[in-house]
Amino acid sequence: MADRAGSFTKAVQKHAGRAKERLLQNLGKADKTSDELLEIYIHNFKKQQNGTHKLNKELKNYLSCVRAMQAASKSLLDTLSEIYEQEWIGHDQIAVKAQSLELLTEDFCTKLNDQVSTPLNSYMNQFPEIQKIAKRNRKVVDYDSSRHSLEAIIHSSKKRDEMKIAKARENLDEAKRLYEVLNKELHDELPALYDSRIAFLVSNLQSLFSAESVFHGECTKVHTQLSDMMERLGTEYHKGSYKSRKSRKIHTAKNEIDARQYEEIEFKRNSLEKQKNASLNVPVSSEKKEHSRGDVPVAPKANSFSDEVISPPYRETDKEYEPVGPENNIDDEPLRSIDPKKLEELYDIPVGATTTGLPPGVFYRVRATYKYTAEDEDELDFESGEIIQVVEYDDPDEQEEGWLMGIKESTNQKGLFPANFTRPI
């Protein structure tokens, strides 16, 4: 117990003596041992230590951001895979590419941790071990204090006390020895540690940038493949491979009409067409021509099944085509005989359409009975009342039932439009 109390008292006295010595040195009343070269080494050490700690902090932040990018990339591609429709080109590749990017990022993070972060932590562990700087600073204060104590004893009294002087010299020699040992070690260790920073940074950052180069190179390949896939999808779309009409049974313009009304309209139209063809002795095919554009848009519902939805049958007179009313049914009076070749040429020309006095290449003209908004880039927009010139398809093989190719007279714009939104003039 007494030993412990004595050690504590001795430690307190030592701290008090150091505090007194520093105060006297700061006040300029006591000189201070200095080593300018070592001060430079200590300054470089602190700068090196602070820089390494900052590098370690930013590397941790970088790794965190890579992990966040990995999560964001996975979420993005998961969403793409969800909305990418099954019939589109490359549908199965979305999940494959997402998995590839996931593995690449995971491998990149592993390399950063093993080849960059772990060596950096080992390098940083050298700094706390160098506690000699603080210890040396304490010992140099003890050395200065011992010097000043010896000088004070020598000059304090007229009668020399050799025992006190001898004890003070002994304390001075011990303080000087401890100070010089630590000072010499720091002169050797600090410059070597400072010079090692270059070799370490070369190795550490080379590992970082090499891992980055491989990662971004492999990711570029995957993203290039995804970009090429999107380009092929766009090419297929422009070819018409994914037209939305193919998946719709009945398309409406602005006001929808239910399927039953649509079927009734088509039934009446087909009945009148068959009646007209029977009068002309023209055989009617039992099968419809297969077409690729899809269902024809249905015109808005009229007040009744009038000629705004279904054009009535016409008969040829000396002056013009006249509608056949109930008082003069088409069966009551036979039409004039028509040459079969002529009829074949005019088979697609609707009854009532004027075919004379038109510009070259124009079969006939129609007037829009309803507004139509284009659903595809190859279609025409028009308002009710606009005039459209009906012309031949650029590619006859693309001709589709219920659709006409026309030129809008107001703008000279060319495109497809649904025939049942117009009537011939």
- Report whether 372 contacts 417 (CB < 8 A): yes
- Average confidence (pLDDT) over 178-182: 92
Torsion of CA 48, 51, 53, 58, to 10 degrees: -160
**Residue 368: its H or E element:** strand 362-368
Q: Give CA separation, 236 vs 17, 58, 89, 90, in Å.
A: 89, 46, 8, 12
Query: Which helix (DSSP H) or strand (DSSP E) does residue 366 occupy?
Result: strand 362-368
For residue 66, pLDDT beyond 80: yes
Average pLDDT over residues 14-22: 76
Q: What are the pLDDT digits (tens) for 321-342?
A: 444 444 444 344 333 333 434 4
Torsion region of 357: left, alpha or beta (phi above 0 gives left; psi -120 to 50 gives alpha): left
Instruction: Dig out the tokens for 306 from the structure.
Output: 């009038």
Q: Determine the pLDDT at residue 338.
A: 36
Please tell me the distance from the alpha carbon of residue 131 to that of residue 42, in angstroms, as a whole number: 12
Contacts of 188 (CB under 8 A, 6+ apart): none
Residue 349's pLDDT band, with cuts at 50, 70 and 90, is confident
Note the pLDDT of residue 335.
35
The residue among 142, 67, 136, 109 whose CA lies nearest residue 208 is 109
Q: Is the pLDDT of residue 27 over 80?
A: no
CA 318, 323, 326, 327 dihedral sign is: negative
Which whole number is the average pLDDT over 305-325? 42
The HSE-up count of residue 23 (CA atoms within 13 Å, CB side) is 6
The terminus-to-terminus CA distance of the chain in angstroms comes to: 124
**What is the pLDDT confidence band of residue 241, given thresholds at 50, 70 and 90?**
confident
82-86, 107-111, 310-314: least confidently modelled range: 310-314
Q: What is the DSSP letter of 420?
A: G
Between residues 72 and 350, the one the model is more confident about: 72
Q: Write down the pLDDT at residue 11.
A: 66
pLDDT exceeds 60 at position 318? no
β-strand partners of 298: 252
Residue, of 251 and 117, whose pLDDT is higher: 117
- Helix%, strand%, coil% for the chain, nearest 5: 60, 10, 30
Structure tokens at 328: 């003069």
CA 396 remoteness from chain centre: 43
Q: Side chain identity at 35, as an amino acid letter?
A: D
Predicted local confidence at residue 153, as pLDDT: 84
Enumerate domains of the chain plus CATH numbers: 18-238 (1.20.1270.60), 246-424 (2.30.30.40)
Threshold 0.85, pTM exceeds: no
pLDDT at 151: 86
Closest CA to 330 of 266, 385, 407, 271: 271
CA 18, CA 365: separation in Å to the nearest integer? 111
Q: What is the pLDDT of residue 328?
A: 43
Give percent of the chain above pLDDT 90.
Answer: 50
Which of 101-110, 135-144, 190-199, 292-301 is predicted least confidently?
Answer: 292-301
Query: Does pLDDT of 247 surpass 50?
Result: no
Q: Is the pLDDT of residue 65 over 90?
A: yes
State the pLDDT confidence band at 263, using cuts at 50, 70 and 90. low
